[in-house]
Structures are given as structure tokens and as C-alpha cells.
Amino acid sequence: MASLTPKIVNGHKYYYARISKRVDGKPKIIKTIYLGTIDKIIKNAQAANQIPQAKEVYIAELGATAALFDIAKRLQFVETIDSHLTKRKQGPISIPKPKAN
């Protein structure tokens, strides 16, 4: 379970998120995350709603592969190849067991 805990240091209030869980039947803090002052928490919450400007853009091409797959299905490409070629032996190889002496 997580909780928000304030701590006063040199007269300033700082906040921490603490995650606790039961260990041997007793609650124990297993992780503490520093969040900062209330102003910093508000600033970070407002910044999370804004989309940052991209510094660099990489465009991954994905459409051509899907288009070619669709064309191959419409043309029944696999079936056409299979009708002209014999099926090769596939599957697990059976290795004979050595004879017991």
C-alpha cells in the first residue's frame, strides 16, 4: 500500500511517497520516493499534462509489409507455390536410441 508522508526539515515541508507491505505480519516500508515540496509536486503534475516537443523523429516503416502480406493472401501466393512444389520433410528428427547391452 502507498501513502503520502510529509516531513519537516529546517522548517520546510517535503513530501515522500512510501510503499509498505506486511512482512511477518507487521507493516514495513519497502520503498520511499522523494517527491519534493508541494510546489514541485504541483509543477510536475501540470507538466505531465503537456506534451513535450520532439527533438528528433524516427519514422519506422510498417505499412509496406502489411500491404504485401495482404496482396499475397489475395493472390493465394502460398497455395500457388505449394501446388507446384513437393512438401519437404519437416518436424522433429527422430534419433534412434542406443541398444542396451
* 101: in domain: no
pLDDT tens-digit readout, 35-72: 999 999 998 888 877 777 888 888 878 788 889 999 99
Please give the backbone phi and psi of residue 70, each rounded to the nearest 5 degrees, phi first: -65, -40
| Domain membership flag for residue 8 | yes
Domain that holds residue 44: 2-48
pLDDT digits (tens, 9 = 90+) for 70-91: 999 999 998 998 888 877 777 6
| pTM of the complete model | 0.45
Is residue 65 domain-resident?
no
Instruction: Report yes or no on 33 lying in a domain.
Output: yes
Residue 89 lies in a domain: no
Based on DSSP, count helices (H) and strands (E) in the chain, helices before strands: 3, 3
Q: Is residue 60 in some structural domain? A: no
Structural domains counted in the chain: 1
Residue 10 within a domain: yes
Asked if the structure places residue 85 within a domain, the reply is no
